Amino acid sequence: MKPMSSIGVPGLILLVIIALLLFGPSKLPELGRAFGRTLREFRMGAREIVEDIDRDEGKNRPPDNQDADKKRLPE
């Protein structure tokens, strides 16, 4: 069974035809711009959340004891 993650070229063509029928050719550029803005804002928000989590984890993490590893005697 094929994974559903890829719709392929025929699927994209079908989606474009359906969008043209539903919204008309004059409305599609406006919808594309709105979708692009929404996607951009979502990515920026997700990036900010990841950066906040990384920053918080860095504050709560105990310091690495790399010096202790160097001072250990060989076994």
Structural domain count, the chain:
1
At residue 6, the pLDDT reads 79
Q: Is 70 within a domain?
A: no
Which residue carries 């990036």 as its tokens?
Answer: 47
- Domain span holding position 30: 24-59
pLDDT of residue 31: 87
> Which residues make Cβ contacts (< 8 Å) with residue 7, sequence separation at least 6?
15
Task: Indicate whether 73 belongs to any domain.
Answer: no
- Is residue 51 one of the residues assigned to a domain? yes
The predicted-structure confidence for 10-59, as pLDDT tens digits, reads as follows 998 998 899 889 988 889 889 889 999 999 999 999 999 999 988 888 77
pTM value is 0.52
The residue that leads in pLDDT, 29 or 64, is 29
In a domain, 13, yes or no: no
In a domain, 39, yes or no: yes
54 in a structural domain:
yes
Domain membership of residue 6 (yes or no) is no
**C-alpha dist (Å) from residue 63 to 10, 18, 58, 59, 67:** 54, 56, 9, 9, 11
Asked whether residue 5 is assigned to any structural domain, the reply reads no
